[in-house]
Structure 1
Amino acid sequence: MRRMLLTGIGELVTNDPAPGRAGGPLGIVRDAAVLVEDGRVAWVGPAAHASEQLPGAVDAADRRDGEEHRASRDASVEVVDAGGRAVLPGFVDSHTHLVFGGDRADEFAARMAGRPYEAGGIRSTVAATRAASDDVLRARLAGFVAELHAQGTTTFEVKSGYGLDVATEARLVRLAAEVTEEVTFLGAHVVPAEFREPDGPGADAYVDLVVGEMLDACAPSSRWVDAFCERGAFTPAQSRRVLEAGRQAGLGVRVHGNQLGPGEGVALAVELGAASVDHCTFLDDADVALLAGSDTVATLLPGVEFSTRQPYPDARRLIDAGVTVAIASDCNPGSSFTSSMPFCIAVAVRDMRMTPAEAVWAATAGGARALRREDVGALRPGMRADLVELAAPGHVHLAYRPGVPLVRRVWREGVLVGDPVLAGDPV
């Protein structure tokens, strides 16, 4: 059995509220320890009680130089001291677009100079992605995964949507499935140029392709189906066709909705029992009420509004109405080219009226709910041992010190991912 005791934790965010724990939904344990066995959380509690779980293991407060390694051998457990730092569950990023070719830095610069954001820029990435080889796409994807891990993300979703033909969409979901089980088929991202030309077959003909040959090719590598229900992309009727076909093929439903203006995306998502509806920038009272009365998560994407200068979603309004809210990065080359969940947390607190505790919960437990996962997003016995150690004494520092690399060490399934980042240690 492979065992690790992470002890000396100043503040442990469990997302498992219980009597005697602080922080409301965060379920905070002070001066804590976590026992990991074969990649799963076996025990969580006060560090002072850790020796009861592992007879023969030393208390972190009583160790001297060299004693840690001797204790590890004697007790068949790796003892790791967090030195009073904060530890929280690995971030769950439930919305990314990580498989693509090319770059849209010029588009970003033009937007910052005053050109408004439109969904049409996706088509330039489609051309670059179709031209890229599997090896190029795979290498770029590996780089993005390393970025995610370095910033504390241990579970992430990846969408297709930059191929928009059968062969390339099938390539994208296949490559995504090499790095995550959370793969989303997004053939209904936008209508490709060859269907929109004056003599082209048109948007409805493209939807025919998506729900037929393209879905058949992509479903075996996918867990989810998604559609961009938005002006400039797909109408509610077209989106419904795609989502219902995907559901019939055994895929779960996700929706891009209400990003660029009011629309029917939220209503469609709730009606179809979607796991999440993402963006939710422009909502009316009926949309909020529908979400509050459903199991559909409102996934907010702060990086998009930061990068496009659109209005931010009103997270406060959603939370106060009882809507389950998640935060995700929407990492993509056009509207949100960030892979940093800590950055998204800071923006959500500053510009979306969330408290630090709400933002951290949304980036961990909220993301897990958006993916309908019960094994990640919290730290309690039986959960996957995905742990993030901060170079800070508490979770509030993620918003309090924006832009600072506070993620110090990351474990996924109890295994250290990458090299520790020795950021400043004000503990």
Structure 2
Amino acid sequence: MSLVITDIGELFTGDEIRTGAAVAIDGDRIVWVGDTAGAPAADQRIDAGGAAVLPGFVDSHAHLMFAGDRAAEFGARMAGAAYTGGGIRTTVAATRSASDDDLRDNARRLIGEALRQGTTTIEIKSGYGLNVADEARSLRIAATLTPETTFLGAHVVPAEYRDRPDDYVSLVCGPMLDAVAPYAKWVDVFCERGAFDADQTRAIITAGQARGLGARLHGNQLGPGPGVRLAVELGAASVDHCTHLDDADVDALASSETVATLLPGAEFSTRSPYPDGRRLLDAGITVALATDCNPGSSYTSSMPFCIALAVREMHLTPTEAVAAATAGAAAALRRPDLGRITPGARADLIVLDAPSHLHLAYRPGVPLVRTVVHNGVLQ
């Protein structure tokens, strides 16, 4: 099946911004980009009517394998309680008691929410099972929903190992990794005070890499720490949060291929300081935006919302924020086939109910995604 989108007022390709453009799709790939007057024939035709067309958003950090919610915790934070990450264990209890169907249906619901808002690729982490059986089933289910699956057994130390954290690290590095490896593409660790220290993080990441998994890392969210520089040392594709950085952290990222993934929904939901995205971009670092969708600290599936926050609070321009939510996030997943509208790329595009990508930040909270094409199929 072929498809052509014509009369595009503004085409944001990821490499340039064009006007009066058209895009042709064959199967699940983009095969041609040019002026509307030269658009080829196709089985199906969409007239964009002068609207903006963008690559589908790539959400490279999401925690969708969970049950329950933590609305009461959110209410307490808004009343002044501090965020420490301790509520994760509440979700662990709910997730362990949920059925496979419950977990799958909840993840599908959130994927559908995200798709309607223009997200055509989403990464899914485990991390709310924290035992061998529940981490394995979380990733087994996630693998039916996305190819971008991440093992986060090192989210926090579960209650039953509270006094034996090194024993839990041994479990994660051994039997747990053995059980999840067939379903996971990535390994991740929450490298923070109160979670996992540098030595524990290095042990878990290298054990995952030895089983063929790529590395990702949560780092420097709650305060200064070793996460960013450790991610660079270990060749991680991405280090996520990056809220508290010193000059050495910035220099390390600038000299590496590790992407700095910013998660503004988490700062919004926890009333925490926002990372300085301008500082990272000015240092030449590749920046990604993602939702961090999870029931505790960032219960949003909206990439447009995160784009608006990044512009307002992280000092990105609207153009830089859209690039971070598309090509930047694709780089965080090491997926050069995503996040751009160029021949050979996967045919994931969105048509806005607006003439320019600027409107995503200019009109925050407004549902501007009019049409979604995913894998070449009109949704």
TM-score of the pair, normalised by structure 1: 0.88
- Which secondary structure does the structure 1 equivalent of 2:136 belong to? helix
One-letter amino acid of the counterpart of residue 297, structure 1: V
CA distance in 2, matches of 1:13, 1:39: 19
Is 135-144 or 361-370 further displaced after alignment?
135-144
One-letter amino acid of the counterpart of residue 227, structure 2: G
Counterpart of 2:329 in structure 1 is: 367
- Which secondary structure does the structure 1 equivalent of 2:123 belong to? strand
Which is greater in Rg?
A: 1
Counterpart of 2:22 in structure 1 is: 33
CA distance in 2, matches of 1:246, 1:120: 25
1:165 aligns with 2:135: no
The Cα shift of 1:119 comes to 1.2
Name segments (4+ residues, structure 1) moved above 2 Å.
none
1:42-81 aligned at under 5 Å gives the runs 42-50=31-39, 53-54=40-41, 77-81=43-47
Counterpart of 2:185 in structure 1 is: 223
The Cα shift of 1:414 comes to 1.2
The Cα shift of 1:298 comes to 0.2
1:110 aligns with 2:113: no
1:5 aligns with 2:4: yes
CA distance in 1, matches of 2:227, 2:28: 38
Counterpart of 1:203 in structure 2 is: 165
Q: Deviations over 1:322-366 (max 9, x none)?
A: 111000000000000000000000000000000000000000000
CA distance in 2, matches of 1:226, 1:296: 14
CA distance in 1, matches of 2:139, 2:45: 39
One-letter amino acid of the counterpart of residue 107, structure 1: E
Q: Deviations over 1:87-112 (max 9, x none)?
A: 00000000000010111000000000
CA distance in 2, matches of 1:301, 1:383: 25
Which structure 1 segments of 5+ residues have no match? 17-26, 55-75, 418-427
Counterpart of 2:204 in structure 1 is: 242
Q: Deviations over 1:37-64 (max 9, x none)?
A: 11110100111221xx33xxxxxxxxxx
1:151 aligns with 2:117: yes
Q: How many residues align?
A: 379
Counterpart of 2:299 in structure 1 is: 337
CA distance in 1, matches of 2:231, 2:202: 9
Residue among 102, 106, 109 paired with 1:136: 102
Which structure 2 segments of 5+ residues have no match? none
Residue among 92, 100, 118 paired with 1:126: 92
- Which secondary structure does the structure 2 equivalent of 1:119 belong to? coil
1:286 aligns with 2:252: no
One-letter amino acid of the counterpart of residue 217, structure 1: A
CA distance in 1, matches of 2:87, 2:105: 23
Counterpart of 2:224 in structure 1 is: 262
Counterpart of 1:402 in structure 2 is: 364
The Cα shift of 1:79 comes to 1.3
- Which secondary structure does the structure 1 equivalent of 2:281 belong to? helix
Counterpart of 1:194 in structure 2 is: 160
One-letter amino acid of the counterpart of residue 177, structure 1: A
One-letter amino acid of the counterpart of residue 14, structure 2: N
- Which secondary structure does the structure 2 equivalent of 1:181 belong to? coil
Counterpart of 1:73 in structure 2 is: none
The percent identity for this pair of structures is 66
Q: Deviations over 1:104-158 (max 9, x none)?
A: 0000000000000011110000000000000111111110110010000001100
The Cα shift of 1:29 comes to 1.0
One-letter amino acid of the counterpart of residue 121, structure 1: G
CA distance in 2, matches of 1:408, 1:80: 12
Counterpart of 1:301 in structure 2 is: 263
Is 38-47 or 294-303 further displaced after alignment?
38-47
CA distance in 1, matches of 2:226, 2:175: 27
CA distance in 1, matches of 2:229, 2:4: 46
CA distance in 1, matches of 2:33, 2:80: 51
CA distance in 2, matches of 1:411, 1:4: 10
The Cα shift of 1:287 comes to 0.2
CA distance in 1, matches of 2:291, 2:45: 33
The Cα shift of 1:266 comes to 0.5
Q: Deviations over 1:275-327 (max 9, x none)?
A: 00000000000000000000000000000000001000000000001111000
One-letter amino acid of the counterpart of residue 133, structure 2: A
Residue among 314, 321, 342 paired with 2:283: 321
One-letter amino acid of the counterpart of residue 190, structure 1: V
One-letter amino acid of the counterpart of residue 46, structure 1: D
CA distance in 1, matches of 2:203, 2:45: 54
One-letter amino acid of the counterpart of residue 9, structure 2: G
Is 251-260 or 408-417 further displaced after alignment?
408-417
1:411 aligns with 2:377: no
One-letter amino acid of the counterpart of residue 106, structure 2: R
The Cα shift of 1:413 comes to 1.3
Cα RMSD between the aligned structures? Answer: 0.7
The Cα shift of 1:176 comes to 0.6
Counterpart of 1:350 in structure 2 is: 312
Residue among 83, 88, 108 paired with 2:49: 83
The Cα shift of 1:374 comes to 1.2
